[in-house]
Amino acid sequence: MICKLLPTLLGVSFASVIFSVQALSQETMGSEKAHHPRLAHAIHALEGAIQYMEAAPHDFGGHKAQAIQESRQALEQLKLALQYREQADNQRRK
C-alpha cells in the first residue's frame, strides 16, 4: 500500500515546494515593484501590449511578430533588473 502511495506523496510534496518557491519569488518581486514604481509600470504596460498584439487580428504592417518577441525580451530584462536590485538590497542588509 505504501509503495503505491509513495509516488503520489512525492509528487504532492514536490508540487508544494515549487508553489512555495514561486510564492516567495512573487512576494519579493512585489516588494521590489513597490520600491521601483516606474519599472513596475513598464512591466505592466509591456504585458498589456503583448496581450493586445497577440489578440489583434492584423499584423501591424508586418511588425507584430518582432514587436511581440522584443517586448517579451524587454519584459524579461525588466524582471531581471528587479531581481538584481532585490539581491543587491539583501546583500547590503547582511
**Structural domain includes residue 47:** yes
**Structural domain includes residue 8:** no
Expressed as residue numbers, the domain containing 35 is: 29-93
- Please tell me the predicted confidence (pLDDT) of residue 1: 52
pLDDT in tens, 70-87: 999 999 999 999 999 999
Q: Look-up: residue for cell 516588494?
A: 31
Q: Are 93 and 57 in contact (CB under 8 A)?
A: no
pLDDT in tens, 36-47: 999 999 999 999
Q: Give the angle 29-31-36 at the CA atoms, nearest 5°.
A: 90
Side chain identity at 10, as an amino acid letter? L
**Structural domain includes residue 5:** no
**Domain tally, the chain:** 1
Question: Would you mind telling me the total number of residues written for the chain in this entry?
Answer: 94
**Structural domain includes residue 1:** no
pLDDT in tens, 17-67: 455 445 444 555 678 888 899 999 999 999 999 999 999 999 999 999 999
Q: How many angstroms separate the CA atoms of 1 and 46, rounded?
A: 51
Greater confidence, 9 or 80?
80
Question: Phi and psi dihedrals of 66, rounded to 5?
Answer: -70, -35
